[in-house]
Structure 1
Amino acid sequence: MAAKGDRSDSDAVGKALRLLCLLGEHPEGVGVSRLARDAGYPVSTTHRLLGSLQRDGFVRSDGESRRYSLGLRMFELGQRVSQARGFTGVALPVMRRVTELTGEPTLMSVLDGRHQLYVHHVQGPRRIRVIGEPAKHGPLHCTSMGKCLIAFAPDEVRAELVEELELTPLGPATITDRARFREEIDRVREQGYAVSDEEHEAGIRAVGVPIVGPGGTALAALSTPAPAYRVTMRELTGSLPFLLEAAAELAVLLPTV
């Protein structure tokens, strides 16, 4: 059984981590009152935790606006993780090559609980663009990358997500029926790629593939999205050879841990 002091320390760490996560949602900065309200903490507790985090460089504050935001220490740690995972140095050149071949953006994401976390985004040359902002979370059930991450997740994770993931209708064609969703994930696993035709957002189509590691589970996923008015689904799936080639290359180059 943990000592009382241990529990207090653990609670403080958990609260501080929650503040960091909330600050990540406000890159422009946020006031202490708003942050305290969102976290559900007293203002005094929030202010004390922010002071500790600021002292160590995890948080910074603007004296004029009195807004808090993530500090350079968080950026430094993020860069170290990205380099260790091989995403920055390895993935971006491969993704840029895909975009050169398709003329459309290339996105990369990883599984993070019941969401996907966008890791990288290479912008296409067109004026109308589709963006997957790095470090932001997105849904799994209605996106091509999300479906790939589910279909090629470890067996127990896949089973849980298929049966328990909330199938919130986000686009006009979102699959919200559990039986249909189960069939969709089986199809993705069988064919090795996924499509999303206005399921996540009206007017947006995408095709995605998993980056499968040695154990047969997805390390990440890649996708090519495009506006529906410009590209038919059949034309978009023409990007599959480029995506599959890139995924095979990254499966060898990316670390598995």
Structure 2
Amino acid sequence: MPESSILTKAMALMDLVTEAETPLNLAEITYTCGWPRSSVHRLLVLLRDADVLSCDPEWQTYDPGSRLMRWEVRTQTRHHIARIAAPHMKTLCRATKLRVALSVLDARSVLFIHTEEVGLPFRLADRTSEARRLCRQSARGIPPDLRHRRARSG
């Protein structure tokens, strides 16, 4: 693949962002790549629009995006992470009588890798006030000894 192709450059940017210990801004990425700022910016916008990168609007820094996280989850699932976690999740689910989820938290979403269900109905809230009310209702269903343990450890 030619060194100047857009795909090669996009992959180089992805390598740079994913290998960085902290989120990088445009100046840091441009300096490291040694490419014109306008080219780097154009590629970052394309990758951000494709959800392969995410951009923190306040700090103007770039991190792996939700699409990349989904790819990672699918890859990890194929590599047995769900199978390794499943027996432990089942034990925890039986012990707590609560739903247990193995998931990845992205800045904008939660990606579920695997869940163990207890057979209880549930619903999702679409407003903050509704979510708070549901959390209070859910907390009532947690056995008191687990509620106190959670409060002390958190």
CA distance in 2, matches of 1:17, 1:93: 33
The correspondence of residues 88-237 of structure 1 with structure 2, limited to 5 A, is 88-92=81-85
Partner residue in 1 for 2:131: none
Which is strand-richer, 1 or 2?
1
Aligned equivalent of 2:68, options 62, 67, 74: 74
CA distance in 2, matches of 1:18, 1:68: 14
Evaluate the alpha carbon distance shift between residue 27 and residue 73 of structure 1 in structure 2; reply closer, same or farther with a 3 A threshold.
farther
Evaluate the alpha carbon distance shift between residue 61 and residue 16 of structure 1 in structure 2; reply closer, same or farther with a 3 A threshold.
same
Runs of 5+ unmatched residues, structure 2 = 88-154
**Superposed displacement of residue 28, structure 1:** 3.5
CA distance in 2, matches of 1:75, 1:31: 20
Q: Secondary structure at the match of 2:59?
A: coil
**Superposed displacement of residue 25, structure 1:** 2.3
Alignment RMSD (CA, Å): 2.5
CA distance in 2, matches of 1:10, 1:56: 21
CA distance in 2, matches of 1:9, 1:40: 13
Query: Structure 2-normalised TM-score?
Result: 0.50
The correspondence of residues 34-53 of structure 1 with structure 2, limited to 5 A, is 34-53=28-47
The count of residues paired between Structure 1 and Structure 2 equals 88
Which is helix-richer, 1 or 2?
2
Preserved contact between residue 27 and residue 69 of structure 1 (Cα < 8 Å):
no
CA distance in 1, matches of 2:85, 2:21: 23
**Superposed displacement of residue 93, structure 1:** 6.4
Runs of 4+ aligned structure 1 residues displaced above 3 Å come to 7-10, 91-94
Partner residue in 2 for 1:11: 5
Q: Secondary structure at the match of 1:60?
A: strand
Query: Structure 1-normalised TM-score?
Result: 0.31
CA distance in 2, matches of 1:10, 1:67: 25
**Superposed displacement of residue 20, structure 1:** 0.8
Evaluate the alpha carbon distance shift between residue 9 and residue 38 of structure 1 in structure 2; reply closer, same or farther with a 3 A threshold.
closer
